A and B are shown apart, each in its own frame.
Chain A
């Protein structure tokens, strides 16, 4: 009886705050834009627009040789979906195209190509635009592979057994493995959407109350600061779960990414991460009490690192040690590992458990810190 006596008003207060927060959330067009419209745009953008596969590489081909083998080689490039060759007849013209950024590489088929091909030591020259080193290396190996494929086919057709192709078989494998980057982009996308909803939206909600002066009246009621935080967490957690479902549906049915692991682990891990992201947003918001500062800071502290330092786009192992050490502070890092494993590899508990544990510890710390900075005091 006595327990009920103190619990019921408390529960009622929390419910009232959740109701209020939900109404505000639903009625605020900005929240809907960031919470629903933006994730959809991100899904479509990442799903269809962004691809790490290199395709349609614009390539200038300098034809110094007009022989049949040279024309044949050019045809191999023209027919490939990986290249978009543009034939020029002088090195200067090719160079100009490269300078103007209209091609990413120059392939020169020298005037002695046919003669040397007959002799089994043909060479072509490749110059690649090096501004994006990763892309350059990929183009390099593609050209390598294309030439290799061509010469192998050529040899087979002619029935000659001469191993005179300029490239070995290994690069062919590189070339042909049509590695669909959606497989690892979509899990990364889930991370971004969850970060956006979790941290970015909540970063505004506490600061907004400070800015509009709504807290002052709220404070002088029987409400406790923990109840205020809880009231803010629940609706945004709901929105986060909605975003998660949106992502999973898109992953499975739009991009046909297989979910090798179990859905339950995926959802549970994601909920954990949403809570951590909410915690970050609430903490920043409670501390800075200014919507602009809070949103900018959340962008810098959560969204950008989630994009760049979580192992979603760039391999963590290839980062400098200092930066890599820094990534251990990022919740997104653990979530990416967790997601990629469940999506692509399955329920591999030795990977899932430590990452989930790291997130749980962070959640605890954030909850504690948020409580500590939210006093029912002004100034």
Chain B
């Protein structure tokens, strides 16, 4: 067995929360070992301590207690010696957006003292690996999110580091770029024997690592090979087929409240379930909620959820109740989009997009970065006038009756437009006033939002200091203050951990059941399962449209596994791009 590259024992780090004087235990006695030549993954929800742990190793923080050695050096005592030898890619990689791809690379090569000869050997490799060769002259700020991440990775690889630290390298990156990034990392580990430590909130990524450390609220829940985590759920994973007339997501939402259920997700029209224990033997049929349960092979995610549920208090009754039932509206489509076009100069961001969404439906817009999702959203909200096409919301033409149409919809922007310096209550007060709510009604609506989104405890916390999941809840609460019957959410779950995502979708499901129409964009392909209909966008066009099951059928299976939504997405986008490439050639 090789000597461990990183050895951490009982690491502790406490941050003083600004403002309220409280303490946050980012790390509460974590031990870790990273072995040479292996890929180790740190998995855990938001606020688990992943970033803190990585920053300790990079010598950017010092631990309050515990011992840590990186490459045999204590990074707290001699940070520079560690920093001379490792590669580090922070969550928000600091590319200089006003420098070109080549200039960014050269800067890091100079800083690492990479000579001309080594560069001539290394640059072509990096370019080939990242496929950035065509863009060397382009400013980094003009790259798509996925390409930025690849450039960030290339900058940390200008010379061979003895240890590569990656902090959530694929957050906010679309599935295609994500797959490419992982191909690079796996290649480095396999071919060059690089030691890599990466943190991630994508559980399918953790599965690719040789070892995983599962973190939760500053404590390690497990450190083992991924298969051992998967095995925890052995015998507990089943699927249920919902009765006719009930959607998978409604059944899933109902099942989540069952104390014997650890986790439930909609999965290809069925509901995938993880139970607290194995079923009692002796019964000839295994029944859950009156439905027959079919056992399935557990996945890493199932084991992870078992671990997490053991550590986290079961957040029961995540639900949302509208204050007033929605007025019965006209049947038919609530949102109609026909031949929508938006051009910026000679660039067509949205190219003849059409779709319709019925009342109480959840509609998902999926697509890589730059596909035109956000631009479409902005036009729907009347924030940006369309170049051509028809946009109707609740029968009203958005361009003609902007204000009237806008009063009917709530919008949660990407990264949530909240005022970071204002408290949760102040943010809600501001948005309530902005929507023209006054007096008793205003009070009532703010109380409703605080209650429904479990924000009462945090009412006096500055919203900038809220953990990610709470920011998302606050943004949703603010968007629902004026009781809209249509809700637009732009990447609401980007960067959110599995628990927060489950809670989010429960609320969305509850809203849809009460008649709220929801349009949502997401990078998480599994989340498409919660939607009634989805549209896959790329390059400004809708490439495929249909129910999740229909879309799934477009995918090609990889290495014998069942076709995932992600496979379908990649297949659709790749086919379309290949066709376009052929047409151009």
Contacts and interface: CB of A to CB of B under 8 A. Distances in A.
Contact of A376 (B79, B86, B95, B156): B79
A24 B96 contact: yes
A28 B98 contact: yes
A209 interface: yes
Interface string A365-379: 000000000001111
A160 B93 CA distance: 91
A315 interface: no
A217 B98 contact: no
Interface string B375-400: 00000000000000000000000000
Contacts of A20: 96, 99, 103, 107
A216 B59 CA distance: 11
A11 B15 CA distance: 37
- Judged by DSSP, the binding face of A is helix
Interface in B106-147: 106-108, 110-113
A217 B155 contact: yes
Contacts of B99: 20, 23-24
A209 B94 contact: yes
Given A214-B95, A217-B88, A221-B83, A13 B61 contact: no
B61 A377 contact: yes
Given A23-B98, A209-B94, A213-B94, A218 B60 contact: no
B15 A379 contact: yes
Interface residues of A, number: 30
Contacts of A13: 110-111, 113
B412 interface: no
User: Which of A27, A209, A215, A217: most chain B CB closer than 10 A?
Assistant: A217
Contacts of B61: 377-379
Given A16-B110, A379-B61, A220 B98 contact: no
A212 interface: yes
Contact of B59 (A17, A212, A376): A376
Interface in B53-75: 55, 58-62
Contacts of B438: none
Contacts of A28: 98
Contacts of A216: 60, 88, 90, 92, 94
Given A212-B94, A377-B61, A220 B86 contact: yes
A302 B36 CA distance: 53
Interface in A198-251: 209, 212-224
Given A20-B99, A222-B80, A215 B110 contact: no
B204 interface: no
Nearest to A218: B94
A15 interface: yes
Interface residues of B, number: 36
B44 interface: no
B79 to A, nearest CB: 6
Contact of B93 (A15, A23, A217, A377): A217
B89 interface: yes
Interface in B539-553: none
A12 interface: yes
B84 interface: yes
A222 B112 contact: yes
Given A20-B103, A219-B60, A15 B90 contact: no
A9 interface: yes
A223 to B, nearest CB: 5
A23 B98 CA distance: 8
Given A376-B60, A378-B60, A378-B61, A219 B152 contact: no
A223 B111 contact: yes
B111 A222 contact: yes
Given A24-B98, A378-B60, A217 B90 contact: yes
Nearest to A16: B110
Contacts of B106: 16
Given A24-B98, A213-B92, A214-B95, A222 B103 contact: no
Contacts of A219: 58, 60, 83
Contacts of B62: 377
Nearest to A227: B111
Contacts of B79: 376-377
B94 A214 contact: yes
A220 B58 contact: yes
Given A378-B55, A379-B61, A213 B111 contact: no
Nearest to A214: B94
A9 B94 contact: no
A216 B168 CA distance: 14
Given A221-B108, A379-B15, A23 B103 contact: yes
24 contacts: A16-B106, A17-B107, A20-B96, A23-B99, A23-B103, A24-B96, A24-B98, A24-B99, A212-B97, A213-B90, A213-B92, A214-B95, A215-B94, A216-B92, A217-B88, A217-B89, A217-B155, A217-B156, A220-B58, A221-B83, A221-B111, A222-B83, A222-B112, A376-B80
Given A222-B111, A378-B55, 4 more contacts: A20-B107, A213-B94, A216-B88, A216-B92
Interface of A: 9, 12-13, 15-17, 19-20, 23-24, 27-28, 209, 212-224, 376-379
